Chain A
Amino acid sequence: MKTTFRLPVTLIVCGLVAVGCKPKGPGDMAMGDAASRVYVAPGQYDEFYNIVSGGFNGQIGVYGIPSGRLLKILPVFSVSPENGWGYSEETKPMLNTTHGFVPWDDLHHIALSTTNGEHDGRWAFANANNTPRVARVNLRTFKTEEILEIPNSGGNHSSPFITENTEYVIAGTRFSIPMDNKDVPISSYKDNFKGSISFIKVDPQSGEMSIAFQLRTPGFNFDLSRGGKGPSRDWFFFSCYNTELAYTLLEINASKNDKDFIMAVNWRKAEELASQGQGRLENVEYVHNVYDERTHTATSTVKKGVRVLDITEFPELVYFIPCPKSPHGCDVDPTGEYIVGSGKLAATMPVFSFTKFQNAIASKDFEGDFSGVPVLRYEAVLHGEVQKPGLGPLHTEFDGRGNAYTSMFVSSEIVKWNLETLEVLDRVPTYYSIGHLSIPGGPTAKPHGKYVIAYNKITKDRYLPTGPELAQSAQLYDISGDKMQLLLDFPTAGEPHYAEALPASLIRDNVEKFYRIEDNEHPYAAKGEGQARVERNGKDVHVYMTAIRSHLTPDNIEGVRVGDQVYFHVTNLEQDWDVPHGFAIKGATNAEILIMPGETQTLKWVPDKTGVYPFYCTDFCSALHQEMSGYIRVSPANSNTPLKFSTGVIEGEAAAAQ
Chain B
Amino acid sequence: MDKTTLLSGTGIRAGVMVLLLAVWVAACKPDRPASQSTTPAGRDASSAVAENADPSKGIGQVQHVTLNTPLEQDRIKRGQAIYEMKCQACHRLDETRVVGPGWAGVTKRRKPEWIMNMITNVDVMLDQDPEAQKLLELCLTRMPNQNVSIGDARDILEFMRKNDGEE
Contact = CB atoms under 8 A, between A and B. Distances in A.
A33 B36 CA distance: 12
Contact size class for A?
35 or more
B37 interface: yes
Nearest to A527: B85
B140 A5 contact: no
Contacts of A315: none
Contacts of B146: 574-576
Interface stretch (B2-10, B50-58, B69-77, B110-118): B2-10
Q: Interface on chain A toward B: helix, strand, loop, or mixed SS?
A: loop
A247 to B, nearest CB: 33
Contact of B28 (A21, A553, A575): A21
A529 B35 contact: no
A13 B20 contact: yes
Interface stretch (A38-46, A211-219, A488-496): A38-46
Interface residues of B, number: 38
Contacts of B17: 9, 12
A418 to B, nearest CB: 29
Given A43-B40, A528-B86, A549 B141 contact: yes
Contacts of B98: 648
Nearest to A462: B7
B48 interface: no
Contacts of A44: 37, 39, 41
B144 A529 contact: no
Q: Interface on chain B toward A: helix, strand, loop, or mixed SS?
A: loop
Contact of B4 (A39, A460, A516, A531): A460
B1 to A, nearest CB: 6
A255 interface: no
Contact of B88 (A516, A517, A528): A528
Contacts of B144: 548-549, 574-576, 579
B167 interface: no
Interface string B17-35: 1001000100110000111
A461 B4 contact: yes
Contact of A573 (B16, B27, B85): B85
A579 B10 CA distance: 52
B35 A36 contact: yes
A461 B34 CA distance: 27
Nearest to A529: B89
B90 interface: yes
Interface string B123-163: 00000000000000000111011111000000000000000
B104 interface: no
Nearest to B41: A43
Contact of B89 (A546, A579, A623): A546
Nearest to B92: A648
A4 to B, nearest CB: 5
A432 interface: yes
Contact of A530 (B33, B84, B99): B84
Contacts of B39: 41, 44
A551 interface: yes
B12 to A, nearest CB: 8
Contact of B140 (A45, A527, A546, A624): A624
Given A16-B20, A461-B7, A517 B86 contact: yes
A7 interface: yes
A343 to B, nearest CB: 24
Most A CB atoms within 10 A — which of B37, B85, B142?
B85
Contact of A575 (B1, B38, B84, B145): B145
Nearest to B4: A460
Interface string A111-124: 00000000000000
A528 B3 contact: no
Contact of A35 (B5, B34, B41, B140): B34
A622 B141 contact: yes
A41 B28 contact: no
B142 to A, nearest CB: 7
Nearest to B34: A36
A550 interface: yes
B41 A45 contact: yes
A18 to B, nearest CB: 13
Contacts of A12: 16-17, 20
Contacts of A620: none
Most A CB atoms within 10 A — which of B38, B147, B148?
B147
A427 to B, nearest CB: 16
B109 interface: no
A8 B17 CA distance: 10
Nearest to B10: A5
A651 interface: no
B21 to A, nearest CB: 9
A183 interface: no
Contacts of A39: 33, 35, 37
Contacts of A21: 24, 27-28
A272 interface: no
29 contacts: A5-B13, A12-B16, A12-B20, A21-B27, A33-B34, A35-B35, A39-B35, A39-B37, A41-B38, A44-B37, A432-B3, A460-B7, A516-B147, A517-B86, A518-B85, A527-B85, A528-B84, A528-B89, A529-B84, A530-B88, A546-B89, A548-B90, A549-B144, A551-B89, A573-B86, A575-B146, A575-B147, A576-B144, A622-B142
Interface of A: 4-5, 7-9, 12-13, 16, 21, 23, 26, 33, 35-36, 39, 41, 43-45, 412, 431-432, 460-461, 514, 516-518, 527-531, 546, 548-551, 553, 573-576, 579, 622-624, 648
Given A44-B41, A514-B147, 15 more contacts: A9-B13, A9-B17, A12-B16, A13-B20, A36-B33, A43-B40, A45-B41, A431-B3, A460-B3, A460-B4, A548-B99, A549-B141, A549-B142, A575-B145, A576-B145
